[in-house]
Structure 1
Amino acid sequence: MKNNLTDFSTIAAIATPPGNGGVGIIRISGPESLSILRNIFAATSLEITKTGIFESHRMYHGRIFDPSCREVIDEVLAVYMKAPRSFTAENVVEIQGHGGSYVLGRILSIVIDQGARIAEPGEFTMRAFLNGRIDLTQAEGVLDLIEASSDQALKLAASQIGGGIRDKIKDLRDRLRNVHAGLEALIDFPDETEDAMELSASADEVEKNIVPEMKAFLKTYEETRFLRDGVKLVIAGPPNAGKSSLMNALTGEERSIVTSIPGTTRDLVRERLSLAGTPVLVTDTAGLRESEDEVESIGISLTRKALSEADAVLWVMDITKGIDEKMSETIRSFPVKHGILVWNKADLAGIKQHDSTGFDNMPGIMVSAKTGNGLEFLKQTMIELLLSDSSAEKSGIALNLRHKNLLESAISHANRSIEAIRFSGSVELAAEDLRESVGALDAILGENMKADILDDIFSRFCIGK
């Protein structure tokens, strides 16, 4: 069943993760929340028992019972949050009981028997959005907060919930609206305005002020994406350079097979680690060489695909063999933004320093995956490279893919409006493109959104949120 944008009946769900735990929470939202609580909750306080009056945002101790047989189910704490001072901006009740799966299921079943229905995934957050308590970017920030796997991701999600993206988009949208209103005035009252001057001023405002700001804002997507989604780090190089050994040394796990036989790794091997609070997905790959072995060739194809999608690459070379011309060409054919040339097997060469000769614009580092020498220096270099040009710490904002696509659409239509003014002098075409540009920014905030699009966004949430 899809989320219903016009159904504001009372909903309920278990708001804590599945499984057994010390505490579990049942969340109820909607017009019947308080009456349901009164029907199933016996407060320890005699005053509440007699009057049935619950003070908003106050915790009450008592017991949940089954009204059909008066059986006591659990000793709980209950809180009533009167609208609009709640997460959904509706009347909300939360019941904190013991965290056993069966007891929580039993309480939820009683709540449903009293007239609530099971909430759809993300329906509580959707109601907060539909009731105007948050905009769509803030709602998405809630999901990012739940899924955050690093300090930076947590900070970005908190900023998004606080309205960081909303405030910037609203500013850009309102300025575009002002320009659009001026163009509409030219269309409606052509005899009362100076057409040429008005058109030129409108084009200047969009071209020189608004579009550059939108482009700068769009740039934060690539600069901060990995802080939320994680860095795709690929370990690549020729066979027997020690890629798998380096993978195992970095992750602390024996994930990759290490032998002296070239071509041992034939598939992608992945493991996660954290660098300075940033999640990193490390991928060990098949050695790059010409091979007639069908299985190894498939592995090499997968390596090239992983390289084309990588955020960063550790090019691992055997220091006792150096880099041949073919490998140099291969490295240059994958111009990733962040690359490090890792000279492995420094122990065999008797080398102890860490800095070394790089490759083109990449730094070079000496390591021994076998002894661990140089690994901490390598990790620190990786951190500095990945975070050096990120604007996340300064702006506190990270766009997601939906925002990026809509912002690109807004920029495209804004540029087309400029072209309509500069080259054809068509006020009507310029106004239409500005309307589309404003509409794309509205969509980022969730205004005038179609039900199926909203349903797709909120369906990614867990039930109970």
Structure 2
Amino acid sequence: MIRISGIDALNVLQQLTNSKRDFPARVAILSSWLDAAGDVLDQGLSLYFPAPHSYTGEHTVELQGHGGPVLLRALLERLFELGCKPAEPGEFTRRAVENGKMDLAQAEAVASCIDAATIRAGKQAQRQLQGAFGRHIEHLMQQLTSLVAHVEASLDFPEEEIPELFFSRLDEDMQQQLIQPIRAMLDSAPLGERLFDGATVTIIGAPNVGKSSLLNALAGRDRAIVSDIPGTTRDVLEIDFEVHGIPVRLSDTAGIRESEDRIEQEGVRRAHQSAEQADATLFVADAMRPDTWHCKVNADIFLMNKCDVGQGAYPDHFISASATNGSGLNDLRDRLAASLGDIDIADESMLVTRERHCQSLSEALHCIETGMQTLHDEEKLEITAMQWRAAWAALGGILGIGDVEHILDQVFSEFCIGK
């Protein structure tokens, strides 16, 4: 599909079809698209969306052709001859923001919808695209506006008495209506980041404890070679899967032990390196071999494998499981998700998924708390008002309210061409 947006979009379509006909709004019309000599380049559906009822808020035309690269290239060259120009990354969505069709948080959600690697991430992106996250930010801004108005009034009209009860309750109101909700949103940021950026988990342990079998069980397919011969795995083997909707890259590593084999030594070195760089480390031990129970590296999760055949009491910090029959793997997935930041959120539409949003919320929180320090000092009340105005501006920057041209440049530089 080719999309054309701008004041001359309909005129371009009429020249492309060599027709002055009226194209009804939002109706697919079978058309022949012609080159400068009048020869047919391609045939397909033409749709016209008059402003402001389009994605960008401008007159928009969509051409749905056969999609072959040669025909598409020829059609694009003809459109350039008619005055069109290639879109910059994110230009269509940027125009939608500038024309009031969506706020900046919704625009970022467009990119998140494209990048989502799991259903959970996709649903979260859709919530943001529908404006749920933006409405939470707007609500915070409204609360802040209402509370700061009284402070501003006391400065602008000092002869008028503001009820003392208001100021005595202002601390509590700021805590409940602004500080606590913002902190809760910031607490969700690690999960929001992992939903879209993914996480890395490294499996470590002694040889033959079942690391490769565990990787295959979690992946749902035979990805790693399984053998009772020690040292089978010598390099880092990676698979992608998801846990509680979080994309995870799971790494199987060489068994950690002393060896004279230079290749195996390199495998052990890489195992340590992978564990150090991972977001979480999973230590695996063999229930039948107590000599494998001691972890020689820092680990986040401890799994006692082969519990279907092993016997005896295991240390309390181990999860009992079997990569062979699958027992205990659900507990392992729950523990993995928790270690990667998965928390119980009553309303996931408040989930913070962008570093830019996190920075703005942190700035707003800092300004609010700084302003509260001078709230009860009449001589410094202007500082309170100034800090809270800055907090409002920080929240507004999330939605693209105010002077945010530099923010727009940063956001849309990350978009793909044509979106």
TM range (shorter): 0.7 to 0.9
**Shift of residue 386 of structure 1?**
5.7
Maintained 8 Å contact 1:179/1:202: yes
Relative to structure 1, is the Cα distance of residues 447 and 386 closer, same or farther in structure 2, using a 3 angstrom cutoff?
farther
Deviates more, 1:92-101 or 1:252-261: 252-261
Matched residue SS, 1:77: strand
Secondary structure (helix, strand or coil) at the match of 1:363 reads strand
Cα RMSD (Å) of the superposition?
A: 3.0
| Aligned match of 1:12 | none
How far off its partner does 1:235 sit? Answer: 1.5
Query: TM-score with structure 2 length normalisation?
Result: 0.87
- SS of the aligned residue for 1:55 comes to coil
Flag the structure with higher strand content.
1
* 1:201-240 aligned within 5 A: 201-240=169-208
- Indicate if the aligned counterparts of 1:40 and 1:65 stay in contact, CA closer than 8 A: yes
Cα deviation code 1:305-342 (max 9, x no counterpart): 234x22xx432102222267852x74xx54x4xx3513
The alignment status of 1:381 with 2:331, answered yes or no, reads yes
- Of the structure 1 ranges 172-181 and 55-64, higher mean CA displacement relative to structure 2 is found in 172-181
1:64 pairs with 2:64: no
Match status 1:363 vs 2:319: yes
Q: Find 1:438's aligned residue among 392, 404, 411.
A: 392
2:234 matched residue in structure 1: 265
Check the 8 A contact 2:136/2:350 in 1, yes or no.
no
Q: Relative to 1, partners in 2 of residues 1:100 and 1:184: Cα closer, same or farther, differing over 3 Å? A: same
Mapping of residues 218-367 of structure 1, within 5 Å: 218-251=186-219, 252-255=221-224, 260-262=229-231, 264-266=233-235, 268-275=236-243, 278-288=246-256, 295=266, 298-307=269-278, 309-310=279-280, 313-322=281-290, 326-327=294-295, 330=297, 333-334=298-299, 336=300, 339-344=301-306, 346=308, 349=310, 359-360=315-316, 363-365=319-321, 367=322
- Write the letter of the residue equivalent to 2:138: K
CA contact (8 A) 2:42 2:66 kept: yes
Q: Match of 2:44, SS?
A: strand
Q: Given that residues 32 and 116 in structure 1 are in contact (C-alpha distance below 8 angstroms), is that contact kept between their aligned partners in structure 2? A: no
Deviation at 1:116, TM superposition (A): 1.2
Aligned to 1:453: 407
Q: Matched residues in 1 for 2:123 and 2:387: separation?
A: 35
**Whole-Å separation in 2 of the counterparts to 1:399 and 1:357:** 42
Deviation at 1:346, TM superposition (A): 5.0
- 1:260 is displaced (CA, Å) by 3.2
Distance 2:27 2:102 in 1: 24
Q: Which moved more, 1:57-66 or 1:315-324?
A: 315-324
Quote the residue 2:157 is aligned against: 189
Which amino acid in structure 1 is aligned with residue 11 of structure 2?
Answer: S
Q: What is the aligned residue count?
A: 411
| 1:32-57: CA deviation from partner (whole Å, max 9, x where unpaired) | 10000000125xxxxxx5x5211111
Secondary structure of the 2:282 match is strand
CA offsets per residue over residues 28-85 of structure 1, 9 Å max, x none? 000110000000125xxxxxx5x5211111111110001x211110011100000111
Unaligned runs of 5+ in 1: 1-24, 43-48
Quote the offset at 1:158 in angstroms.
0.9
Q: State the distance in 2 between where 1:129 and 1:438 align.
A: 20
Contact 1:357 1:363 in 2 (8 A): no
Letter of the 1:431 counterpart: A
* CA distance in structure 2 between the partners assigned to 1:432 and 1:195 by the alignment: 21
Task: Measure how far apart 1:248 and its partner are.
Answer: 3.6
SS at match of 2:26: coil
1:229 to partner: Cα distance = 3.4
Q: Distance in 1 between matches of 2:151 and 2:255?
A: 60
Find the counterpart in structure 1 of residue 348 from structure 2. Answer: 395
Structure 2 gaps of 5+ residues are none
Q: Report the identity percentage.
A: 30
Taking structure 1 as reference, are residues 206 and 291 closer, same or farther at Cα in structure 2, changes over 3 Å only? farther
Deviation at residue 343 of structure 1 after TM alignment: 1.5
Q: 2: CA distance between counterparts of 1:326 and 1:275?
A: 27
Match of 2:371 among 417, 432, 438: 417
